Amino acid sequence: MNVWRLVIREIKHRKLNFAMGLLSVAVAVASLIGAQTLLTGDRLLTGQLLSAKETEVRTAVSEKQAAVEQAGKELQDVVRKQMLGLGFNVLILPKEQSLSEIHLNGSMSATMQEEYVDRLANSKIMTVNHLLPSVTRRVQWDEQDREIIIVGTRGEVPIQHRALKKPLLDEVAAGRIVVGHELHRQLDLSEGDTVQLKGRDFVVSKLHDERGSVDDVTVWINLAEAQEMLGMQNQINAILALECGCTGDRISQIRAEISEILPGTQVIERYSQAVTRAESRAKAKASAEKALADAEAFGAQQIAMEEKSRQEIEERHAGFAAILVPLVILGAVVTIGLLALMNSRQRSQEVGILRAIGLSTQQLMLVFLSKAALIGLLGGVAGVFGGLMVGRLLSDFEAGVIGWNELLETSQLSTLIVIAPVFALLLSGVASWVPALLAARQDPAVVLQGE
Amino acid sequence: MILRLEHVTKTYAGKSSLVHAVRDVSIGVDHGDFVVLQGPSGCGKTTALLMAGGLLSPDSGLVSVTEQNPYALTANERAAFRARTIGFVFQQFHLVPYLSVLDNVLAPCIAADVQDDSCGRADSLIERFGLAHRKSHLPGELSSGERQRTALARALLNKPPLLLADEPTGNLDQENAEAVLGHMKEFAESGGAVLLVTHDERAIPFAHRVVRLRDGQISDEMDRSSGGVN
């Protein structure tokens, strides 16, 4: 016979008292563990949701960015094609060139040195891009019995101090000819066909789409061949250029700059639509960039809102736990104390006789505290499991994918799980201490005289 | 002398006045003695027995058990002393309700000072008191006689030199009362000392000596072994 046997027999005899004690401890520990599970789950869920939101926003922004870049490229390409269609919008001509001749005949008779274009390319000019030297002449195409405009070009001359840009117009190679829309339509030409011009054979390298301008009755050949054909060696009629995205009085700025580099020239502006298109391209780009910035700001706002919402939930849960847990623990302490007191009262005769047959105060304390320890330990373990289940049930786990492993890996919760049964044991011991002491110090004479 | 009460007095504070439960009582119980302390209810019998058992300290006078004053010991030393020296039997049996007969008999073994060989006597005591067939039964399943025999077996487990019994036959029929008293006499004749407190006349034939108490004082004393009255 020993204390443990006595304790176990008594527990079996007074099952309800033991069960009530166990339940009190389990509820106290479950509230503690449940609250911690809930708060840990909240934290993990917040992390997951914010991370998912950030990924979602990042993806959306990057898709937007890709779309913007793609649109930009497409727009640039379209503009480039349009610019090509419209032609260069700045024309640098010898000063003596009559504009009437250009507008009425589509031809130019005044010339300047081809070297001018190199001078311009080697200068620090800022207001124009894409320099294209050319000769332009209205001639009779005897072989086809019609009048045409011949343009000789050598391709774009890169401006030395600028980064190399994709040319608006490809160079026409020697022996090749590019044909305007009206001409190739009437002559039923195809790429690869050979045509004769001024007694020379040319292979058709490209056929232009309809542009609705003088370009439709123009052919483009290599500059050197054109100069030779027209007797204009080292001479050109014009330098075509594309103005930069200048602001303010653009043409005045261009004229001022060019007249310093190339004295004896005049500058005229053509096709202001091109400028408009360029401006609209810039506007579209700015608008796209703004849309991107808006998307980023919207994403950041959404993340902030999500964060705030989660923070509010976490604070609400933490506040609830801060009130509930101490109350439940206090309630459990009181309940366990009352149960222990009730138990010691119920057992007063038993305690009296045990004292009479020789059990010491410490041994009687051990009888009561062993039971309390058992209640604490078993209740603590049950409370841990119960708390985990309740915490999990109360948490909004469906919103994320939080497994037990993730929960239990958090140091706070895992530490609490280990500590909780010890805490429960102490809690039960402390609550039962005074009743146990009262019972153990009971005067056996009083009890035995009471019969 | 196993038990000596010398001029012991005990007074309780009543609601309106002092109650002199025991006044200047002196009793001696030696090896082989079966002493019956008899008297009407409220005469101080139980108080005298509790003082003899080291459970209630007297206001004055001396209590000596096996030549030792239990009240000179600390509470825990006194508990250990009781475990070694005194066996108790009460009218209400005071069995632990959730322990079987065997476990009740073994209850003194929880006390650290009880010898292991004493604990080994439980089965033979149960056999001796005719409880073998009730060994695993709870007190609630026993008759009054069986309960009291269980309490007696518990009291004698540790082979105490002194057995103190308070109205042990109060709830028993003739047959069971005689059985219990017979076992007590047997214990006394085997060298133990018995002080039995009762108002039950059935105990007298078993006693070697009868001491009568009235109003807390000894009124007369009869030595039945010699047949004389003191």
Q: pLDDT tens, A333-348?
A: 888 888 878 877 878 8
Average pLDDT over residues A393-415: 73
Please count the other Cβ atoms lying within 10 Å of the Cβ belonging to residue A211: 17
- Name the residue of chain A whose CA is nearest to B102's CA: A1
Show the beta-strand stretches assigned E in A154-264: 176-179, 194-197, 200-207, 218-222, 235-236, 238-243
Could you tell me how far CA A406 lies from the centroid of its own chain? 26
Q: What residues of A are in contact with residue B112 (Cβ under 8 Å)?
A: 360, 363
Q: What residues of B are in contact with residue A2 (Cβ under 8 Å)?
A: 109-110
> Can you tell me the distance from the alpha carbon of B35 to that of A70, in angstroms, rounded to the nearest whole number?
118
- Of the candidates B82, B77, B30, B74, the one whose C-alpha atom is nearest the C-alpha of residue B51 is B82
* pLDDT per residue as tens digits for the range A12-32: 988 998 998 899 889 988 988
Per-residue pLDDT of chain B (230 residues; tens, 9 = 90+): 899 999 999 998 877 888 888 999 999 999 999 999 998 888 889 899 999 999 899 999 999 999 999 999 998 888 888 888 999 888 888 888 889 999 999 988 887 666 667 778 889 899 988 899 999 999 999 998 899 889 989 988 888 999 999 988 888 888 888 988 999 999 999 999 999 999 888 899 999 999 999 989 999 988 877 544 44
* pLDDT per residue as tens digits for the range A422-442: 888 888 888 888 888 888 877
- CB within 8 Å: B88 and A353: yes
> Can you tell me the distance from the alpha carbon of A280 to that of B196, in angstroms, rounded to the nearest whole number?
123
* pLDDT per residue as tens digits for the range A255-284: 888 888 898 899 887 755 555 555 666 676
- Name the residue of chain B whose CA is nearest to A362's CA: B76
What integer pLDDT is reported at residue A166 of this predicted model? Answer: 62
Contact of B53 with chain A, judged by CB distance below 8 Å, is answered with yes
Q: What residues of A are in contact with residue B90 (Cβ under 8 Å)?
A: 353, 448, 451
Region of poorest pLDDT, from A80-94, A196-210, A282-296: A80-94
- CB within 8 Å: A363 and B47: no
Average pLDDT over residues A365-382: 90
**Angle (deg, nearest 10), helices B75-85 and A361-394:** 110
- Name the residue of chain A whose CA is nearest to B116's CA: A1
CB < 8 Å from A in window 79-138 of B:
79-80, 82-84, 88, 90-92, 94-99, 103, 106-114, 119
Q: According to the 3-state scheme, what is the secondary structure of chain B?
A: CCEEEEEEEEEEECCCCEEEEEEEEEEEECCCCEEEEECCCCCCHHHHHHHHCCCCCCCEEEEEECCECHHHCCHHHHHHHHHHHEEEEECCCCCCCCCCHHHHHHHHHHCCCCCHHHHCCHHHHHHHCCCHHHCCCCHHHCCHHHHHHHHHHHHHCCCCCEEEEECCCCCCCHHHHHHHHHHHHHHHHCCCEEEEEECCHHHHHHCCEEEEEECCEEEEEEECCCCEEC
Contact of B55 with chain A, judged by CB distance below 8 Å, is answered with yes
Residue A381 has pLDDT above 70, yes or no: yes
Q: What residues of B are in contact with residue A362 (Cβ under 8 Å)?
A: 76
- Of the candidates A106, A111, A164, the one whose C-alpha atom is nearest the C-alpha of residue A134 is A111
Whether the predicted interface score ipTM is above 0.95: no
Q: What residues of B are in contact with residue A353 (Cβ under 8 Å)?
A: 88, 90, 94-96
Average pLDDT over residues A172-200: 93
> Can you tell me the distance from the alpha carbon of A356 to that of A362, in angstroms, rounded to the nearest whole number?
14
Q: Which of B88, B103, B111 sits opposite A359 (nearest CB)?
A: B111
> Can you tell me the distance from the alpha carbon of A187 to that of A205, in angstroms, rounded to the nearest whole number?
15
> Can you tell me the distance from the alpha carbon of B196 to that of B46, in angstroms, rounded to the nearest whole number?
10
In residues, how long is chain B? 230
Higher pLDDT, A309 or A130: A309
Enter the tokens of residue B208. Answer: 């070697």
Q: Are strands B228-229 and B86-90 parallel, antiparallel or unpaired?
A: unpaired
Enter the tokens of residue B182. Answer: 């017979």
Average pLDDT over residues A406-416: 80
Residue written as token pair 């002449």: A137
Contact of B47 with chain A, judged by CB distance below 8 Å, is answered with yes
Angstroms from A441 CA to nearest CA on chain B? 10
Q: What residues of A are in contact with residue B111 (Cβ under 8 Å)?
A: 357-360, 363
Higher pLDDT, A241 or A201: A201
Angstroms from B54 CA to nearest CA on chain A? 9
- Name the residue of chain A whose CA is nearest to B100's CA: A9
* pLDDT per residue as tens digits for the range A62-102: 887 887 787 677 666 655 555 554 545 788 999 999 888 88
What is the rounded end-to-end Cα distance, in angstroms, of chain B?
19
Mutate to test the interface with A, among B50, B84, B90, B94 (most CBs of A within 10 A): B94
- CB within 8 Å: A449 and B108: no
Q: What is the mean pLDDT of chain A?
A: 83
Which domains does chain B show, CATH number per domain? 29-41+73-229 (3.40.50.300)
Q: Which of B79, B97, B155 sits opposite A13 (nearest CB)?
A: B97
Q: What residues of B are in contact with residue A355 (Cβ under 8 Å)?
A: 55, 79
Average pLDDT over residues A198-204: 93
The A-side interface with B (CB below 8 A) comprises 1-3, 5-6, 9-10, 12-14, 349-350, 352-363, 444-445, 448-449, 451
